[in-house]
Structure 1
Amino acid sequence: MNRKGVPLRASGYSEALPLDSKSRLPLLEELPWPNSPVFLDSSGKEQFSAFLTDVTNHELLASKGLASRLALMLSGPPGTGKTLLAGHLASQLGRKLYVARLDSIISSMLGDTAKNVRSIFDFVAGKHAVLFLDELDAIAKMRDDRHELGELKRVVNTVIQGLDSLDESTIVVAATNHAQILDKAIWRRFPYKIEFGHPDLDLRHALWSHFLSASEDQDQQISVLSRMSNGMSGADIEQHALAARRRSVLDSSPLDMASLGGAILNKKVDHRGDASARLSDLKRRLAHHLVNECDIAQSETARFLGVSRQAVSAYLKATTDAQ
């Protein structure tokens, strides 16, 4: 069994994974369990907990005729934590995590894609593992799509047959960014579903706090970041937070919340540049955004920017005059 975060290959044991017959590339990867925490909203937590409970009590439910197929569908935009959740599921259950590599599965040769799909399901059968099918929509689109070739429609049938062939102990987690194009027969084979969206306010607060390693006295600043980052994914928040911390370490300076706020506005992190005019313009734009678009009080905005309330009033006046 894997130790947390260490694949069996690292301990001297190498398992032969199925390969594409033409490219000789592996169709699956065995990934280590993740070290990063997974963040879910209240609905996601409830559904994930219910799935875990049913998995751990599968034999009892089966004895009463109440067991369901252990298949979980994750849908939602990129960067919301679908892959991470699959890793945490494997970790909590103490199972290997096999991830299908779509770049290897989809072949330019007619018939080879379906063959690759069959190889994956044949390999995981009976292994008491977690199989993660990322971007399932790439190989399981609706079969009534007139624009798709007959070969791709046969691939969908192969996926369905593969899912039906698995024993009850195998857990399948699938993810899609385009739930609306998945074949209906595929959906019916996933009785458990979690829909991911962009994190809500409370979840954004938790994400910023974690990735910035924020202290309690920074909670008010974290609250500002949470409100101004509406629409960002968890991956976006992680990227911005870690970039800000790296710059703080490299510059041997405290975390620059104004620059971090500016990075959110610009969708990029750039803490360099020492021109006072540039810094002043950044704080002016941030003051306008926080007060007028995020409905944050001027006093709270001043604390976030590290300036006086009078300075915030001046920034707002300058923005108004410039319009």
Structure 2
Amino acid sequence: MEVDNSLILKLFEAALGADYTTVRRIGGRLARDLAAGKEGDAAKSLEAMLRKRGVPLQASGYVEAIPRDAGSRLPLVEEAPWPTSPLFLNTDAGHVIEQFIEDANNIALLAANGISARLGILLYGPPGTGKSLLAGHLAARLGRPFYVVRLDSVISSRLGETSKNIRGMFDFIPTKDAVLFLDEMDAIAKLRDDRHELGELKRVVNTVLQGLDSLADEVIVIGATNHPHLLDPAIWRRFPYKAELLPPDSEVRAAMWKHFLYQGGEDGEASALLARLSENMTGADIENFAHAARRRAVLSRREPSLPHILLAITSSTNGVPKLPDNHALSADEKKSLAQLLDELELPRTEIAKRLGLSRQMIHRYLKGSDDA
């Protein structure tokens, strides 16, 4: 890899001047150049050094000045680790995300050809669809630090403090060469229902717009909201990319059940069956159900119980999930499950296999017999 001599000079100048923010920024750029030059191991080693949250920097007396709310002294910006949980996306959202990543990885090329390199993506959809997880994965795919701002915590009850907080947040980010994640963006719009006056609302919105406009092209901005209809149209226009995250479709639900419940094992038929029955569940719901079932399996030293999972899914109501347990199934519960699987047009031999019952018992349940 050819190294820009001016970059090396800037790196030494920053290090000798204890400007560790610039050291990290240049280090991140060098790591990306190493990765682009097919020197992946060196890039990963450098990124690992930059992720150590400055142990040697703290020893030298350096402490990074995180912007804080003047009243509560709570941080306005937090650096978050890249996620380790896998990401599952529906086809449409996945296509938008891949396009966004391709553009973000080629900012310099686009700018050199006179194409605006200012990038931002707005993620919207119901809770539990993976907006925060996706934002973290985008930072990881781009190899950049991940800074999270929850706008509901930036909002201050003190008149004028909200705009000051937002300015402090945006002033902190430009030197970071990072991904900035603005979570709960609808918190700004909720000022309408608070005791803030209309003029204060306009000042806050304008401050957000000015902050977004002030960022360098290298800063990647991701916004997220559960209530897109509440956002000011001018904020929408600051995000060239928009991705609607909906509850997972059947194919994604099957993949999630296979991963979280069977850990990528072979039971694709059971995963497909669970996908059919979990149509109204979010990705977060599926993960929680699968983990609950695996906890019970580990503690009882058994395989995950499909009948208990099916019963928990069918017993759940919207917003109030009933997690699977290990109680002994009653005759009525077995009969109910047999009828459910019959309605899904599963062969009776398959129903018997999945419920761990004999074909004769399944026949009796489906004939309406109450004899267990």
Structure 2 residue runs without a partner (length 5+): 1-27, 29-45, 58-62, 316-320
Does residue 279 in structure 1 map to residue 333 in structure 2?
no
Deviates more, 1:1-10 or 1:20-29: 1-10
1:184-219 deviation digits (Å, cap 9, x = unpaired)? 111111001111111000000110111013465421
Which SS does the other structure have where 1:78 is aligned? coil
Contact 1:74 1:173 in 2 (8 A): yes
- Amino acid paired to 1:268: K
Structure 1 residue runs without a partner (length 5+): none
Aligned to 1:316: 366
Aligned to 1:291: 342
* Larger RCO (alpha carbons 8 Å, 6+ apart): 1
1:223-273 deviation digits (Å, cap 9, x = unpaired)? 111111101100000000011111100011121111111121222224233
TM-score (norm 1): 0.89
Specify which of 282, 285, 298 is matched with residue 233 of structure 1. Answer: 282
Which SS does the other structure have where 1:175 is aligned? strand
Contact 2:191 2:201 in 1 (8 A): no
1:1-41 deviation digits (Å, cap 9, x = unpaired)? 58579954374655321100000000111100111111111
Specify which of 308, 313, 321 is matched with residue 259 of structure 1. Answer: 308
- Amino acid paired to 1:149: E
Deviates more, 1:152-161 or 1:18-27: 152-161
Looking at structure 1, the residues matched to 264 and 150 of structure 2 have their Cα atoms a distance apart, in angstroms, of 40
Correspondence list, 1:110-189, <5 A:
110-140=159-189, 149-150=197-198, 151-189=200-238
Looking at structure 1, the residues matched to 50 and 89 of structure 2 have their Cα atoms a distance apart, in angstroms, of 25
Does residue 247 in structure 1 map to residue 301 in structure 2?
no
Contact 1:244 1:256 in 2 (8 A): yes
Looking at structure 2, the residues matched to 171 and 108 of structure 1 have their Cα atoms a distance apart, in angstroms, of 29
Contact 1:141 1:156 in 2 (8 A): no
Specify which of 343, 350, 355 is matched with residue 305 of structure 1. Answer: 355
Specify which of 118, 136, 151 is matched with residue 102 of structure 1. Answer: 151
Looking at structure 2, the residues matched to 103 and 11 of structure 1 have their Cα atoms a distance apart, in angstroms, of 31
- Amino acid paired to 1:61: L
Deviates more, 1:41-50 or 1:279-288: 279-288
Backbone CA RMSD of aligned residues: 2.6
Correspondence list, 1:1-40, <5 A:
3=47, 7-9=51-53, 11=55, 13=57, 15-40=64-89
Aligned to 1:66: 115
Looking at structure 2, the residues matched to 281 and 5 of structure 1 have their Cα atoms a distance apart, in angstroms, of 59
Q: CA deviation at 1:68?
A: 4.1
Contact 2:186 2:230 in 1 (8 A): yes
Contact 1:290 1:301 in 2 (8 A): yes
The verdict on how the C-alpha distance between 1:208 and 1:92 changes in structure 2, with shifts beyond 3 A counting, is same
Looking at structure 2, the residues matched to 309 and 154 of structure 1 have their Cα atoms a distance apart, in angstroms, of 70
Deviates more, 1:154-163 or 1:297-306: 297-306
Which SS does the other structure have where 2:99 is aligned? helix
Deviates more, 1:151-160 or 1:234-243: 151-160
Q: Percent identity?
A: 50
Looking at structure 1, the residues matched to 214 and 290 of structure 2 have their Cα atoms a distance apart, in angstroms, of 44
Which SS does the other structure have where 1:152 is aligned? helix
Deviates more, 1:180-189 or 1:306-315: 306-315
Which SS does the other structure have where 2:79 is aligned? strand
